[in-house]
Amino acid sequence: MSFDVVIPTTGRDSLSSLLHALSDADGLRPGRVLVVDDRRDRSRPLPTGPGASIVRGPGRGPAAARNAGWRQSQAEWVSFLDDDVVPSEGWLRDLVGDLRRAGPRVAGSQGRVRVPLPHNRRATDWERNTAGLGDARWATADMAYRRAALAEVSGFDERFVRAYREDADLGLRLTARGWEVVRGERRVLHPVRPAGRWVSLRMQAGNADDVLMRALHGPAWRAAAGAPRGRLRRHLATTAAGAAGAALLAAGSRRTGRAALAGWLAGSAELAWARIAPGPRDRDEVLTMLVTSLAMPPVATWHWLRGHARARRLVPGRPGARPAVLLDRDGTLIDDVPYNGDPQRVRPLPGAREALDRLRAAGVPLAVVSNQSAVGRGLVSPDQLGAVNARVEELLGPLGPWLICPHAPDDGCDCRKPRPGLVLRAARRLGVRPEDCVLVGDIGADVEAARAAGARAVLVPTSRTREEEVAAAPATAPDLRGAVDLVLEAAA
C-alpha cells in the first residue's frame, strides 16, 4: 500500500507548520508530499517545510489545484490536506491504519475534523460556520482517495471554482458508480481563520455553486450529500418583498408598498436575530450581524441568479451548454512520434497548453480518445503507455478521462477509430450526449469516428493528413488554438 499527500495552498503561513508536523510524525512515510502552489501572485516566497515537492497550480480554485496535485502522484492512495489544518501526533500512523482497513470498493477515507471554539464565550457567527466542517460529509480538509477512483471519474470538477461544493460533487459521482466513502479514525484540528466583517456576504457566492449542483445531480442532491438546506428560500422571499415594496411606492401604491417593505424588514430582522441569539452578543458582533443581515438576502439572490445563468452555459445537455471536447493525442496535442514509449520524447505542439487552458477556464469537459496499436503489437507496454500519457498531462494539464484503443488494426474491435467506440465511451464517462461532443483530430479516422457516433469534428491537418481527408472534413482549423476558437464561438 502506497500513498502520497497533496496540499493545495494559497500561501498561508500555516503551511510551514503543517509540513514540519508531517515530517516529525510517527508512522509510515508518504512516498511524496506534493504542495500545489495555487497562488496567482508568486512574488513572495512560499512558506515551506521539509520533504515537500512544489507543484505549480493553475490558480483556478481548490478543485483544479487538487487535480494538479493528484495527477502528479503514482501512489495507490492520495491523501488531501488543507494547508491550515493541524494533524494529531499520530496522524500518519492512523492514516495508514485507515487505508489498510479500506475494502476494495472504498474510494475514500475521511478524517475526523475538529474546529476548536473558544471556551470563555459563545462562538461568533463565523466561528459557528467554520465549526460545520466537523459534521460535513466528504470534506477534503482531510480526505484520502484511492487514485484509481479519482481517475475513473476524472477527479474534481473544475467548474467549481470555490471551496465546499466540489467535495460534495465528487462524493456524489463516486457513490453513484458504486464506490464507498467511509470515515476513518485519524484526527486533525481546523483552527478558525481570521475573517473580516463582510465574510458572511462573500460566502453567499456559494449559492451559485448550489445551482450548479442541482443542475448536475438533480433536486435531491442535498439529501444525497448530507448538505443542510440553508436559508435561500427566505432570502429570495425577503428580497422579493423589498423589491416589490420599492417598486410599488415608486408607482404610487403607498399602502401596498409599505406592507411589502414591512415584510422585507421582518425578514431581515428575523435573519439578524437568528444570527445574533446564539453568539456572544457583544457590540461588534451585533453591529456586524445587523448590517450584513440587511445585505445578505439581496446578495444571496444575486449569486443565485448568476448561478442559473452560469449553469445554462456550463452544464452539458442544456440549451446554451458548452460542448465536451474530445482530443486525439498524437499529432493533435503532441508531436507524432511513432510507437513512442518514452516520456522524455513527449513534445507538446505549439500553443497546445494555452488552447487547453482556455477550454478549462470556460468549464468545457475534456477527454482524450487515442488509437495506440503499439500496445496490441507488443511494441509498447501498458506501463510505458501510462507513463507517456502521464507526461502529456504533466506538460499540458489535466485532460479528463483517457479512452485508449490498444488493439491492432486487424483485431476487429469496435473502439479503434474510425469506429465510434472511443467517442461513445468518452461521452458516457463525461455524462454527455455524443451529439454534444466535438472531436479534434488530425486525420480522417478522427472525423469518421465522430461522424459514426453522432458527434461533431474539427480537423487540424498535419503533414500526414491526406488532401481528400481535408476536403471531406466538416470543419478545419490551422492548429489547436484555431479549433478551440471554433468550439467556443459555436457555443457562444
Residues 218 and 293 in one domain: yes
Separation of alpha carbons 147 and 79, rounded Å: 10
Q: Given this model, what pLDDT does residue 170 score?
A: 93
pLDDT digits (tens, 9 = 90+) for 77-118: 999 999 999 999 899 999 999 999 999 999 999 999 999 999
Domain check: are 164 and 249 in the same one?
no
pLDDT, residue 410, reads: 84
Q: Which of 129-138, 397-406, 429-438 has the lowest mean pLDDT?
A: 429-438
Provide the grid cell at 55.
Answer: 507543484
Q: Catalytic pick from 98, 330, 436, 446?
A: 330
CATH code of the domain containing 60: 3.90.550.10
Strands of the sheet with 366-371, listed across from one edge? 402-405, 366-371, 324-327, 437-441, 456-459
Domain range for 304? 196-315
Same domain (yes/no): 391, 329: yes
Pair (284, 217) in one structural domain: yes
Q: Are residues 200 and 293 in the same domain?
A: yes
The pLDDT of residue 318 is: 47
* Residue reference for cell 449542483: 213
C-alpha cell at 268: 431581515
Q: Do 190 and 201 lie in a common domain?
A: no
Closest by CA position to 400, among listed 153, 164, 127: 153
Task: Look at 35-39, 241-245, 285-289 and tell me which has the smallest mean pLDDT.
Answer: 35-39
Mean pLDDT of 435-443: 93
Q: How far apart are the first and last CA of the chain?
A: 47
Of residues 21 and 313, the one with the higher pLDDT is 21
Is residue 409 packed enough to be buried (19+ CB in 10 Å), middle (13-18) or exposed (0-12)?
exposed
Q: What are the helix and strand counts (H, E) for the chain? A: 19, 13
**Cβ–Cβ under 8 Å, residues 9 and 80:** no
- Same domain, yes or no: 294 and 419: no
Q: Kindly indicate the confidence band of residue 44, based on its pLDDT and cuts at 50, 70 and 90.
A: confident
Cell digits for 40?
A: 496567482
> Residue 178: left (phi > 0), alpha (psi -120 to 50), or beta?
left
User: Which positions ≥6 away from 41 have C-beta within 8 Å?
Assistant: none
> Which comes out higher in pLDDT, residue 304 or 150?
304
Residue 314 has pLDDT above 80, yes or no: no
pLDDT band for position 325 (50/70/90)? very high
DSSP 8-class letter at 40: S
200 and 245, same domain (yes or no): yes
Q: Could you tell me which residues come within 8 angstroms of residue 168 by beta carbon, excluding any fewer than 6 positions away?
A: 137, 138, 213, 221, 225, 227
- Residue 118 and residue 252 in one domain: no
Task: State the pLDDT at residue 412.
Answer: 84
Q: At what angle do helices 352-361 and 382-396 cross, to 10 degrees?
A: 80
Number of domain units in the chain: 3
Question: Which of 113, 116, 117 lies closest to 133 in space, CA to CA?
Answer: 113
pLDDT tens-digit readout, 385-431: 999 999 999 999 889 889 999 998 888 888 999 999 999 999 888 87
Q: Among 288, 315, 342, give the residue marking a domain's end.
A: 315
Q: What is the mean pLDDT of residues 371-394?
A: 92
**Given a cut of 70, is residue 198 above it in pLDDT?**
yes
User: Percent of the chain beyond pLDDT 70?
Assistant: 98
Is residue 151 domain-shared with residue 285, that is, in the same domain? no
Helix (H, G, I), strand (E, B) or coil at 257: helix
pLDDT band at residue 315, thresholds of 50, 70 and 90?
low
Q: Would you place residue 192 in the very low, low, confident or very high pLDDT band (cuts 50, 70, 90)?
A: very high
Residues recorded for the chain? 492
Q: 252-277 pLDDT, tens per residue?
A: 999 999 999 999 999 999 999 999 99
- Among 142, 169, 195, the domain-final residue is 195
* CATH code: domain of residue 344: 3.40.50.1000
Answer yes or no: 330 catalytic: yes
Within the chain, what is the greatest distance between any pair of CA atoms? 84
Active site residue 383: no
pLDDT in tens, 330-356: 999 999 999 999 999 999 999 999 999
State the CB neighbour count (10 A cutoff) for residue 332.
Answer: 25
Regarding whether 165 and 37 lie in a shared domain, the answer is: yes
Q: Is the pLDDT of residue 22 over 80?
A: yes
pTM score, whole prediction? 0.69
More confident residue, 322 or 143: 143
- Active-site annotation holder among 328, 336, 436, 446: 328
Q: Give the per-residue pLDDT at 400.
A: 86
CA distance 244 to 322: 35
Categorize the per-residue pLDDT at 153 as very low, low, confident or very high, splitting at 50, 70 and 90: confident
Q: How far apart are CA 13 and CA 7, in angstroms?
A: 13
* Whether 15 and 149 share a structural domain: yes
Grid cell at residue 322: 458548452
DSSP secondary structure, 304-364, as one string: HHHHHHHHHHHSTTSTTPPPEEEE-SBTTTB---TT---GGG--BPTTHHHHHHHHHHTT-
Which of these three, 167, 195, 223, is where a domain ends?
195
pLDDT digit string, tens, across residues 228-237: 889 999 999 9
How far is C-alpha 282 from the geometric centre of its chain's CA atoms? 39
